[in-house]
Structure 1
Amino acid sequence: MSRTDRAWRRWGEVDPYFAVLSDPRYRANQLAANRTAFFETGDAYIADRLARAQEHFGFTTRGRALDFGCGVGRLTLALADRFEAVTGLDVAPAMLEEARVNAAGRSNIDFLLSDDRLANAPGHYDLVISLMVLQHIPVERGMRIVAMLLDRVAPGGIASLHVCTNRGDTPRQRFNYWAQRRVPGVRGFFNLWHGRPWAEPLMEMNAYPLDAIVALGRKKDFGEPLIQFDHHGRFETAQLLVQRAG
């Protein structure tokens, strides 16, 4: 198992909602008062993505949807309100168990363990979505996953992918990040310095080559993407919305 998968599995065990959406309101000790708001953010995001897809591509098909890196189901539940069948994939068993609890009573969702071949997501989907997930996967591996996610999009379907494009590190920040990943014990000291538990895992943030993702889409019969650029602190991100040729 890769370092990043081990870290994500650990997050699923210790603080799953904060791992999905890194806001202090969603820490385990504050979640009870903010759980509704957590899922409302997912519903708002899906509503926005689908509205943009309809506006720019005329997309209205609501058959199957795939949520890659579903976590505790923040987006998956919102998709299930709008699609006939939804598959949520995640590498963390504890995340999936929490997602199943959150989806109790819904019959159109499957929460399944993910792997690099997407073996539990066969066939094609009208919508394939991934938000704040690929950035936690090393780029070489993540680009292979991007290719497979695009392969899962049905003709006329939509891919909605979110990636970090620039970490914005100073030289000192770059060294600190390297040390936390590579030097045993350094992460623990950084955690204590910032008032976090010693064993809290590192949440990697990897920057992807946006032009390579767009080029990959073209090779797989996708049109020109709608791209939205954002800043999250020093991190620069991009959200791609793109339709496969029918």
Structure 2
Amino acid sequence: MAENVIQNFLDTSFDHEGRAVQVAMTPEEHRALFDRIQTQWTGYGESEPFASVLSDEQFLKENIQQNMHILEASGNEVVRRLHVVAERNQVTLTKGKCLELGCGVGRITKPLSQLFNHVVAADISPGNLEVCKKHVQDASAHNVEALLLQSPEHVTAVKDIDAFVSIIVLQHNPPPVQYFLLDSILGNIVPGGVAFFQTATFNPGYAYQIGHHLALDTEAFESWSLHCLPMKHILQLFRKHGMDVLEVVEDGQTGGLHNRFHSHTFFAVKP
């Protein structure tokens, strides 16, 4: 029975044509989307910073102290997977600058700081970023630079990137914003650098139009918390920026069996 459920879920990739997903936007639309997202995640960072990173009651404020080790273990697992994927593809990770997009409370930032010489921990939420800064300071990780994203273009200022890492972050941004972020960041990766990131790529019932999304009231806008960037656009960006895609792994990061979202982790290198 369980095998049939899993197979049916996997088959959805082939059984539906998919719906229209808009990825192009005007500067005005980008600013409007950014302002909405910033307000949304600023609120999350103030109310429940840890649960905003991993949505589970064990990470609520009243429970986080006894469960912090679980949160940290999840961050260590991400970096372990990066190691594994790089090693099996015979890629040597350059120890220079790592950009972590959506650092949240620092669960991945800390182990990344042990792997790279310099980590730029970027987030849109001031509250989450403050928790991250304290977390890495307590761990004596003095090679972490906290970057508060205060405008749509802010992330483009991070140049000469040796590694780009982002897990459970992009999918919480509308497709045009995801496309912009990836376009900006992949273009700033140096030769020999890598990209290791995850996002949702497909749901048979998902469609996206900017005008419709922005027309929603604040509560309805925030309820659209999970978005897809179709894989064709991600692969097109890799081609545009001269990166070789070495692996695309379906990862289950969206709880896909329950909500039909397909999630993939991408690993690519710039020759």
Give the TM-score category using the shorter length: 0.7 to 0.9
- Equivalent in the alignment of 1:195: none
How high is the TM-score relative to the length of structure 2? 0.76
- Equivalent in the alignment of 1:192: none
How big is the shift at 1:208?
A: 0.6
Q: Deviations over 1:157-201 (max 9, x none)?
A: 10012111124559xxx9xxx99x8246669xxxxxxxxxxxxx6
Structure 1 residues 184 and 209, CA gap change in structure 2 (3 angstroms)? closer
Structure 1 residues 68 and 230, CA gap change in structure 2 (3 angstroms)? same
Contact 1:132/1:163 (8 A) holds in 2: yes
How big is the shift at 1:225?
A: 3.5
Aligned CA RMSD, in angstroms, stands at 2.5
- Equivalent in the alignment of 1:205: 226
Structure 1 residues 186 and 127, CA gap change in structure 2 (3 angstroms)? closer
Q: Deviations over 1:58-94 (max 9, x none)?
A: 2232111110111111111110011111110001111
Contact 2:97/2:116 (8 A) holds in 1: yes
- Equivalent in the alignment of 1:182: 216
One-letter amino acid of the counterpart of residue 13, structure 1: E
How big is the shift at 1:120?
A: 7.4
Question: Is the deviation greater in 7-16 or in 60-69?
Answer: 60-69
Matched, 1:146 2:172: no
Unaligned runs of 5+ in 1: 188-200
One-letter amino acid of the counterpart of residue 269, structure 2: Q
Contact 2:100/2:122 (8 A) holds in 1: yes
How big is the shift at 1:10?
A: 0.6
Matched, 1:5 2:38: yes
Structure 1 residues 183 and 63, CA gap change in structure 2 (3 angstroms)? closer
- Residue among 229, 237, 242 paired with 2:268: 242
Report sequence identity in percent: 24
How high is the TM-score relative to the length of structure 1? 0.84
Question: Is the deviation greater in 85-94 or in 58-67?
Answer: 58-67
Distance 2:132 2:67 in 1: 17
Look up the SS of the partner of 1:238 in the other structure.
strand
One-letter amino acid of the counterpart of residue 45, structure 2: G
Contact 1:59/1:157 (8 A) holds in 2: no
Distance 1:49 1:185 in 2: 36
Matched, 1:36 2:69: yes
Matched, 1:70 2:96: no
- Equivalent in the alignment of 2:58: 25
Distance 1:95 1:120 in 2: 21
The aligned length equals: 227
User: Which protein, 1 or 2, shows the higher relative CO under an 8 Å CA cutoff with sep ≥ 6?
Assistant: 2
- Equivalent in the alignment of 1:131: 167
How big is the shift at 1:53?
A: 1.4
